């Protein structure tokens, strides 16, 4: 009984979206292999084929569940379930399911449109409309790496005890492999990785709802921090042109209300949210450090030019001196001017007579 209970407990500990998504991937891939083994052409009904998928729109999402080779299936089962399990525990089931659907669906839509543009330019329908078959979880894999770059960028991974790399370097490495394979003539399915990277970053940057770490009880969207900007993915020489292009596209998207807006907590009005909770924390920390520096600068006691501390400020006469008899003659002498190297009152020191009483402050 203990042996049988152990797998059941393990499966019950897996979050629901990860559990059902993994089971659907195994069943769909085996079903596809069985149909191909029996000679049935099920490709247009399960995978994205640019010339046919316009009649089968569900394939833009369901194609993620089909791996056409045993190598692709094993690689996906090793990486994707463990990654989704982590993301689902951080984001929740609903946000994880939305992340899967957006990353895969929009990547396939972009690939679909890109192949139609290639067909209109070359008139080669056999290659670009019916010779391309987009399937599997490559787009989801690169989107997961982008999510890990946002959540744990400095975490170090180790492959087979030999290869070591930080998480933030993995997406661009995978993207480089995709670019090389695409230029070598293997456009399908390697180009889907580039689309998956871009879609995953756009969604996490602007559209993902951060319900778990809202600021002041108000939900924020995306991650507008500088460490997750577009130029952070590229070398310094590409920052300037990418900044110009990104600012132009962002201004257009803002003008047409394509980017979610949130509440500015401090201003009390609706405005573009400058970031998620992490970006908000960075901004508040910078403001607190600036205020602390100003306070320390104002509270610092100045030092006289000759290195000695400034003389204490003169105190007000005691009340007894003010109540003396008028018959006592007080010598009147002009006040002695202060010396050039002394100051009569230092910064931060205030006479007792300058402090208002409680009745004056009301």
Per-residue pLDDT of the chain (362 residues; tens, 9 = 90+): 444 456 677 677 888 999 999 999 999 999 999 988 888 777 788 899 999 998 999 999 989 999 988 999 999 999 999 999 999 999 989 999 999 999 999 999 999 999 999 999 999 998 899 988 999 999 999 999 999 999 988 888 877 667 788 888 899 999 999 999 999 988 888 999 999 999 999 999 988 887 655 555 567 788 888 888 888 888 888 888 888 888 888 888 888 888 876 443 333 333 333 444 555 556 566 667 777 777 777 766 555 555 455 555 555 555 444 444 444 444 444 445 444 444 444 444 444 444 444 444 43
pLDDT of residue 131: 87
What is the spatial distance between Cα 254 and Cα 350, in angstroms, rounded to a whole number?
Answer: 52
Which helix H or strand E contains 219, and what residues bound it? strand 218-221
**CATH 3.40.190.10 correct for 11-207:** no
Q: Which residues pair with 210 in a beta bridge?
A: 220
The number of angstroms, rounded, from the C-alpha of 330 to the middle of its chain's C-alpha atoms is 76
pLDDT of residue 300: 62
Instruction: Rounding to the nearest 10 degrees, give the CA dihedral for residues 297, 303, 309, 314.
Output: -70
How many other CB atoms are there within 10 angstroms of residue 315's CB atom?
A: 9
pLDDT of residue 249: 86
Instruction: Rounding to the nearest 10 degrees, give the CA dihedral for residues 139, 111, 150, 258.
Output: -140
> How many Cα atoms within 13 Å fall on the side-chain side of residue 13?
8
pLDDT of residue 161: 67
What token pair was written down for 233? Answer: 């993915």
pLDDT of residue 162: 74
Domain boundaries defined on the chain: 11-207, 211-293
Which helix H or strand E contains 220, and what residues bound it? strand 218-221
Residues 6+ apart with CB under 8 A from 47: 59, 63, 66, 68, 133, 134, 135
What is the spatial distance between Cα 223 and Cα 149, in angstroms, rounded to a whole number?
Answer: 12
pLDDT of residue 13: 80
Global confidence as pTM: 0.70
Cβ(303)–Cβ(348) under 8 Å?
Answer: no
């Amino acid at each position: 009984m203990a042996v049988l209970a152990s797998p059941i407990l393990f499966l019950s500990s897996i979050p629901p979206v990860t559990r059902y998504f993994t089971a659907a991937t195994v069943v769909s891939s085996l079903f596809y292999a069985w149909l191909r083994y029996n000679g049935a052409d099920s490709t247009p009904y399960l995978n994205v084929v640019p010339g046919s998928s316009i009649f089968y729109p569900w394939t833009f999402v369901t194609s993620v569940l089909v791996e056409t080779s045993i190598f692709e299936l094993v690689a996906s089962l090793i990486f994707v379930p463990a990654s989704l399990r982590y993301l689902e525990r951080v984001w929740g089931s609903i946000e994880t399911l939305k992340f899967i659907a957006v990353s895969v669906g929009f990547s396939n839509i972009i690939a679909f449109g890109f192949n139609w543009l290639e067909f209109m330019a070359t008139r080669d329908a056999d290659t670009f409309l019916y010779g391309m078959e987009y399937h599997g979880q490559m787009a989801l894999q690169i989107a997961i790496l982008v999510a890990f770059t946002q959540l744990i960028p400095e975490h170090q991974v180790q492959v087979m005890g030999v290869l070591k790399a930080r998480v933030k370097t993995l997406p661009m490495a995978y993207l480089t492999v995709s670019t090389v394979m695409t230029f070598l003539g293997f456009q399908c399915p390697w180009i889907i990785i580039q689309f998956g990277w871009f879609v995953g970053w756009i969604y996490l940057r602007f559209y993902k709802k951060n319900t778990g770490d809202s600021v002041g009880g108000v939900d924020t969207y995306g991650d507008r921090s500088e460490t997750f900007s577009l130029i952070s993915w590229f070398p310094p020489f590409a920052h300037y042109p990418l900044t110009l292009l990104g600012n132009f596209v962002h201004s257009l998207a803002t003008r047409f209300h394509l980017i979610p807006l949130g509440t500015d907590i401090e201003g009390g009005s609706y405005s573009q949210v400058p970031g998620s909770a992490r970006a908000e924390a960075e901004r508040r920390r910078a403001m607190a450090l600036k205020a602390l520096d100003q306070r320390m600068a104002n509270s610092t006691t100045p030092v006289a030019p000759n290195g000695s501390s400034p003389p204490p400020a003169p105190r007000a006469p005691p009340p007894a001196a003010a109540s003396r008899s008028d018959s006592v003659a007080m010598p009147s002498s002009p006040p002695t001017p202060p010396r050039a190297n002394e100051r009569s009152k230092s910064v931060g020191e205030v006479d007792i007579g300058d402090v208002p009483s409680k009745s004056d402050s009301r």
